[in-house]
């Protein structure tokens, strides 16, 4: 049966259905509704939600809770991601399952609190030192907010790493008609744990994710954000350090096929492929529908897994087209990734940075 909800509510429902039992966050528009809903709902379902004294405390609490066995999530917007930066690196280095919702607003700095934008798409990828891979998903509808939040919890367990769900002000705060009971759920695997592990971390084979040991379950568990050996003791031994860092890369990069998600709506004979994500993708789908109704075949790819870049699916979608139009609300940030794999095809940037949503008509203009 239909109900009337926004993307924030769908994210909260997805988190609860994924078994999220720990949340810490700090108020910020447009992410606050998630904080408020979980402060209300988590204690009622046996979990814990805290409003931290700042974003650093909030993500820190989530990391600690995750190691104590919780399914942890935090939610913020661009300014908060800035404050998460160092701890995101800690979660990468220490291999901590964690879901981070980034409800984008217009930046830089305070920018526009209630203004839609997609300026964090590269920021979440490169937002901590080192340049190691992260995973980021991007829903474009209310139902996808639900499903991809669940999926993020699953990937966080699968790869023992922070997973972003990148949304935006319009997606989170626009109300829509949704049949919540019919939202497709994602499988969320139980945490892989080991009873009597010989080591807390393992780097061989380099692409394998090591099962976790939870604090207080019979064996001391060590965790560290410094370069470490398999027992989480600090090391500078180049062989060990190299193996550790190789592992952080390979465990994700070698398994891109498990992460890649693109909704490809391709048409034979299309000269143009539109690539978009988030609420911009919804507008582009309207534009593509109109173009098709007017007799022009157009292909469309909505990217659901922004990082790692779903290259296989995107390269496939590009086959046969002459140009790719990348529509996004930033100076053309994801277009850089498309250019990288476009094999000489023309890549047109369709962008707005004035705080307004793109209009379907602007797609026609971009083609002219």
Partner 1 sequence: MTAVTITPLGSYRNERPYPFCPGCGHGPILDALDRALALRGAPADRVVVVSDIGCSGLSDQYFATSAFHGLHGRSITYATGIKLADPTLEVVVIMGDGGTGIGGAHLINAARRNVGITVLVMNNLNFGMTGGQHSTTTPEGAITSTTPGGNLERPLDICGTAAVNGAALAYRCTSFDDDLGERIAEAMAHPGFAVLDVWELCSAYYVRSNRFSRKGMEQTMEELGLRRGYAARRDVREFSAAYREAAAADAAGPVRPGDIPRTHRSGLDGRRTVVLAGAAGGRVLSAARAAARAAIASGLYAAQRDDYPVTVKTGHSVASLVVDPHPIDDVSARPDVVALLAPEGAARAARDAARLGPGGLLVAVPGLDPPPHAGRTVVLDTDAAGMRLAKADLALAATAAIAALESLFPLEALRDAVAGGPKGAERMVEVVGAGEAMAAAAGG
Site for partner 1 in 119-178 (CB under 8 A): 141, 170, 173-178
Helix axes 142-159, 7-17, angle to 10 degrees: 40
Tell whether residue 69 is a contact of partner 1 (CB under 8 A).
yes
| Sequence-separated (6 or more) residues with CB below 8 Å from residue 10 | 142, 143, 145, 146, 149, 178, 180, 183
Tell whether residue 78 is a contact of partner 1 (CB under 8 A).
no
Q: Which residue lies nearer to partner 1 by CB, 122 or 224?
A: 224
Tell whether residue 199 is a contact of partner 1 (CB under 8 A).
no
Q: Which residue lies nearer to partner 1 by CB, 217 or 312?
A: 217
User: Is-contact 81 124, C-beta < 8 A?
Assistant: yes
Q: Using only C-alpha atoms, what is the Rg of the chain? A: 21
User: Is-contact 136 125, C-beta < 8 A?
Assistant: yes
CA 145 to chain centre: 11
The only residue of 224, 245, 267, 364 in contact with partner 1, by rule CB under 8 A: 224
User: d(Cα 290, Cα 295) in Å, to the nearest integer?
Assistant: 9
Tell whether residue 52 is a contact of partner 1 (CB under 8 A).
yes
The only residue of 19, 64, 197, 297 in contact with partner 1, by rule CB under 8 A: 64
Site for partner 1 in 312-341 (CB under 8 A): none
Binding to partner 1 by CB under 8 A, coded x per residue (else -) over 88-107, reads: --x-----------------
The only residue of 19, 39, 82, 180 in contact with partner 1, by rule CB under 8 A: 180
Tell whether residue 357 is a contact of partner 1 (CB under 8 A).
yes
Determine if the peptide bond prior to 30 is cis (ω within 30°).
yes
Site for partner 1 in 269-298 (CB under 8 A): 279, 282-283, 285-286
Tell whether residue 83 is a contact of partner 1 (CB under 8 A).
no
Tell whether residue 359 is a contact of partner 1 (CB under 8 A).
yes
Helix axes 32-41, 7-17, angle to 10 degrees: 40
């Amino acid at each position: 049966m239909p109900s009337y909800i926004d993307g924030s509510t769908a994210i909260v429902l997805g988190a609860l259905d994924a078994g999220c039992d720990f949340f810490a966050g700090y108020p910020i528009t447009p992410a606050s509704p998630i904080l408020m809903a979980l402060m209300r709902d988590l204690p009622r379902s046996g979990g814990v939600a805290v409003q931290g004294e700042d974003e650093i405390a909030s993500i820190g609490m989530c990391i600690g809770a995750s190691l104590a066995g919780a399914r942890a999530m935090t939610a913020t917007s661009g300014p908060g991601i800035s404050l998460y930066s160092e701890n995101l690196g800690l979660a990468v280095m220490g291999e901590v399952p964690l879901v981070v919702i980034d409800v984008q607003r217009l930046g830089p700095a305070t920018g526009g609190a209630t203004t839609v934008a997609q300026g964090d798409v590269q920021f979440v990828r490169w937002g901590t030192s080192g340049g190691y891979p992260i995973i980021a998903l991007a829903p474009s509808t209310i139902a996808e907010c639900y499903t991809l939040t669940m999926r993020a919890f699953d990937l966080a367990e699968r790869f023992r790493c922070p997973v972003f769900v990148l949304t935006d002000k319009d997606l989170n705060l626009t109300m829509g008609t949704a049949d919540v009971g019919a939202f497709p759920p994602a499988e969320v695997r139980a945490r892989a744990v080991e009873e009597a592990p010989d080591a807390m971390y393992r780097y061989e084979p380099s692409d394998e994710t090591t099962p976790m040991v939870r604090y207080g379950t019979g064996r001391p568990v060590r965790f560290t954000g410094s370069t470490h050996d398999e027992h989480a003791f600090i090391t500078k031994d180049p062989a060990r350090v190299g193996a550790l860092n190789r592992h952080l890369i390979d465990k994700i990069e070698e398994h891109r096929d498990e992460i890649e998600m693109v909704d490809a709506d391709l048409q034979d004979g299309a000269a143009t492929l539109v690539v978009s994500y988030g609420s911009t993708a919804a507008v582009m789908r309207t534009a593509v529908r109109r173009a098709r109704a007017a007799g022009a075949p157009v292909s469309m790819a909505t990217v659901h897994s922004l990082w790692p870049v779903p290259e296989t699916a995107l390269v496939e979608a590009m086959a046969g087209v002459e140009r790719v139009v990348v529509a996004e609300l930033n100076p053309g940030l994801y277009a850089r990734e498309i250019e990288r794999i476009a094999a000489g095809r023309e890549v047109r940037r369709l962008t707005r940075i004035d705080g307004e949503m793109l209009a379907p008509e602007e797609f026609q203009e971009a083609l002219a």
